[in-house]
Amino acid sequence: MRRCCALRWSLWGVMGCCYYAFMTWIPGLLVARGLTLTKSFGFTIAIYGAQVPGYFSAAWTNDRIGRRNVIALYLALGAAGALFLSQVQTPTGLLWASVMLSFALNGVYSGLYSYTPELFPTAVRATAQGIATATSRVGAMVSPILVGALYPALGFGGVFAATMVLLATGGATVLLVGPRTNGITLS
């Protein structure tokens, strides 16, 4: 149970950190990358628009390949998007990498919201889910400060390379440590 708690809560913390770092800072980081403020906000609309298909595609996939695999797959897509975002220089590349990252991060959440309750017995399920989402909020509170501190030292590419490492580590961890829950009756 401890391993399960540590896995879920750390994954929720990482997701809160990566998601809110990205969504909070992307307009300003795009401006720092040379886009006008108007174009940056236009890109932000497309980035937010990618959330809906991210949620729905992961929700559809959850029962087909399993929640654990959905989480790992979308974390891998997110890591690829963050890596792409750390390397691209053109406005079109920035847009597509950002859309990919937004799509993937929201797909992870779709998997997490269904996977986490499956890992805990009924007696503690609601409490465990509440702690997991609270851990995400801690990550969300820390992330804007962390990006603000890292950006001067690492730059745009370094911030997204760090995001890529966090997402890739989360994906590997859920595959290596996370139990399968497909077809298992909940207690």
What pLDDT digit, counting tens, does each position of 134-175 carry? 999 999 999 989 999 999 999 989 999 999 999 999 899 888
Question: Is the pLDDT at 4 greater than 80, yes or no?
Answer: no
Amino acid 87: pLDDT: 92
**Mean pLDDT estimate for the chain:** 90
Task: Write out the DSSP string of 108-175.
Answer: HHHHHHHHHHHTS-HHHHHHHHHHHHHHHHHHHHHHHHHHHHHHHHHHHHHHHHHHHHHHHHHHHHHH
d(CA 11, CA 56): 21
**Dihedral class, residue 34 (left if φ above 0, else alpha if ψ from -120 to 50, else beta):** left
Compute and round to an integer the Cα radius of gyration of the chain.
17
CB of 179 closer than 8 Å to CB of 68? yes
Average pLDDT over residues 58-86: 95
pLDDT at 173: 87
Q: How confident is the model at residue 5 (pLDDT cuts 50, 70, 90)?
A: confident
Task: Using alpha carbons, list the distances in angstroms from residue 155 to 86, 138, 169.
Answer: 9, 24, 21
pLDDT tens digit sequence for 17-46: 999 999 988 888 888 888 888 888 889 999
Distance (Å, rounded) from C-alpha 94 to C-alpha 163?
15
Mean pLDDT of 82-94: 92
Determine which of 1-5, 55-59, 127-131, 145-149 has the lowest per-residue pLDDT on average: 1-5
Average pLDDT score over residue span 102-119: 93
Does pLDDT of 7 surpass 80? no
